[in-house]
Amino acid sequence: MPDTPSDQLNLPTLRQKISGRILTAGEDDYDRARTVWNGTIDRHPAAIVRCQQTEDVRKAVKVAREHDLPLSVKCGGHMTTGHAICDGLVLDLSLMNDVQIDENTRTARVQGGATWDQVDREALKFDLLPPGIPHPVGVGGFTLGGGMGVVGRKHGLAVDALREAEVVTANGHIVTASEEENSDLFWALRGGGGNFGIVTSFTFDLFDEPRACLTGNLLYSFDDAADVFEYFRSTVPETPDALYPIASIITVPEIPGIPEKHVGKPAVNFYVMSVGDPEKLREPMEEFCSFGEPFLRLIDAVDYTDLFVPFEVPKGERHHWASVYLNDLPDNLIDLLATKSTPLPTPTTGISVYACGGAMGRVSSDATAFAHREASYLAHITTQWSSPAEDDAHQEWTRRLHQKIAKFGTGGEYINNQTDDDAERVRAAFGDNYDRLSQVKATWDPDNFFRMNQNISPAG
């Protein structure tokens, strides 16, 4: 019988080399540390290293290579693929969460284990907004996948705000990646996922924007879905970049202000976020939210930190996600959404269409590894349930709907919203940049040591 990762691991040697705590099965905190946001992921690492400094990461990489151990990296643990946890050695970076703000240069230096809510807390002290989302999602995975944040339409993706990265490479070296230094690696990190190294710190531009954000929240009867999506299609191209509109098919929850007759039934939700002076944005927000006869219509100024309250989901629920980039919302796709997308399999499942464009689209598709700059929309399926007995049924529902929507798409997918990661889907995520990414992979990780990710094969 072949050795398991546990058999291959020399724990005494590892403990001698690493300053951080090392967790193994049966120890306090092991089960908590091995779980991630998606409850379908249930893996048992040989050991979990709670890294405290970059040197811990470097030494752990060396040990994993010496003992031929699979290695994965956990930051926020929100990727629905569950790549953060493997059966070998897991590097938990969550203790490496320091955030340093330079008010003069309007930049943030963020350790690789930080989450965006931690960055928010520090940046907002200086009335600056970061290029992420107000949510406890890991900065690392979010950024390496491109990073479609709240400021995206106005200021660009997280990778567009990235200025420098400190990286532990596959051979255990510590290098800096920027436009001036190791520029090929820097290009690949900006959208190429975790294929090229472990980023132990990021340096980002921050944005001088008020923390008060105007939002619009509307609910329409699903009987009007076709008209609502047609309006969305006709209006988004003329919408100011400061507004970030999302149109979603949801099941109406039981909350104050919603007539009881609509609760538990499908509806179309407009949720429009914004970045900028709320008073200056009120007129375009009112104009965008003026369509039809919604049964709920709220336009409010909220704190930046509350923008993602509608998306909060407790850890441990089961998830399967899929996405499709779209250049348009053709009539046949609108018909599909309005007539064939319901019933939704669970009350917490949703189908959303995000407006892209703006600053995200004003960057060349080959300027960074993130390839999908020209897309006008992103369709995102978020299937959520609780019972393990329903896994197969809900995963299959998601895949079938994804296949139907993908017929109208660009062929591209958003890596951060992708659960299935077979070779075809990975190619779709990296698009026309895949071959160049494969060349960079061959330079920085020719043995494919970093493979617990949406994996790119090294060229050659």
Query: Using one digit for the tens of pLDDT, what is the confidence trace for 41-81?
Result: 999 999 999 999 999 999 999 999 998 999 999 999 999 99
Does 298 score more than 60 pLDDT? yes
Amino acid at 391: D
Q: What is the pLDDT of residue 20?
A: 83
Average pLDDT of the chain, as a whole number: 96
Mean pLDDT to the nearest integer, 319-338: 98
For 174, list phi and psi in degrees, rounded to 5: -110, 120
Does 398 map to a domain?
yes
Mean pLDDT to the nearest integer, 339-363: 97
Residue 4 pLDDT level (bands cut at 50, 70, 90): low
Q: What is the pLDDT of residue 3?
A: 53
The answer on 354 and 245 residing in a single domain is yes
The answer on 20 and 139 residing in a single domain is no
Residue 6 pLDDT level (bands cut at 50, 70, 90): low
Distance of CA 137 to the CA centre of its chain: 8
Residue 13 pLDDT level (bands cut at 50, 70, 90): confident
Best CA proximity match to 325, nearest among 349, 351, 350, 354: 354
Does 5 score more than 80 pLDDT? no
Where residue 65 sits, what CATH number does that domain have? Answer: 3.30.43.10
Mean pLDDT to the nearest integer, 384-399: 98
Cα angle vertex 412, ends 406, 414, to 5°?
105
Domain limits at 109? 99-208
In the chain, how many domains are there? 3
Q: What is the pLDDT of residue 132?
A: 97
Q: What is the pLDDT of residue 1?
A: 36
Taking the C-alpha atoms of residue 101 and residue 121, their distance in angstroms, rounded to an integer, is 11
**3-state secondary structure at position 358:** helix
Residue 183 pLDDT level (bands cut at 50, 70, 90): very high
Does 82 score more than 70 pLDDT? yes
Amino acid at 171: N
Cis before residue 343, ω within 30 degrees of 0?
A: yes
Taking the C-alpha atoms of residue 453 and residue 81, their distance in angstroms, rounded to an integer, is 8
The answer on 297 and 247 residing in a single domain is yes
Residue 7 pLDDT level (bands cut at 50, 70, 90): low
Name the pTM for this structure.
0.96
Taking the C-alpha atoms of residue 140 and residue 147, their distance in angstroms, rounded to an integer, is 10
Q: What is the pLDDT of residue 256?
A: 86
Where residue 104 sits, what CATH number does that domain have? Answer: 3.30.465.10
Residue 8 pLDDT level (bands cut at 50, 70, 90): low
Does 445 map to a domain?
no
Does 311 score more than 90 pLDDT? no
Domain boundary among 31, 61, 92: 92
C-alpha separations of 344 from 109, 249, 384, 431 in Å: 42, 9, 10, 30
Mean pLDDT to the nearest integer, 204-209: 98
Tell me what percent of the residues of the chain surpass a pLDDT of 70. Answer: 98
Does 163 score more than 80 pLDDT? yes
Residues 253-290 have pLDDT tens digits of: 998 889 999 999 999 999 999 999 999 999 999 999 99
Mean pLDDT to the nearest integer, 341-346: 97
Does 121 score more than 80 pLDDT? yes
Does 442 map to a domain?
no
Does 2 score more than 50 pLDDT? no
Where residue 292 sits, what CATH number does that domain have? Answer: 3.40.462.20
The answer on 108 and 88 residing in a single domain is no
Does 333 score more than 60 pLDDT? yes
Q: What is the pLDDT of residue 314?
A: 83
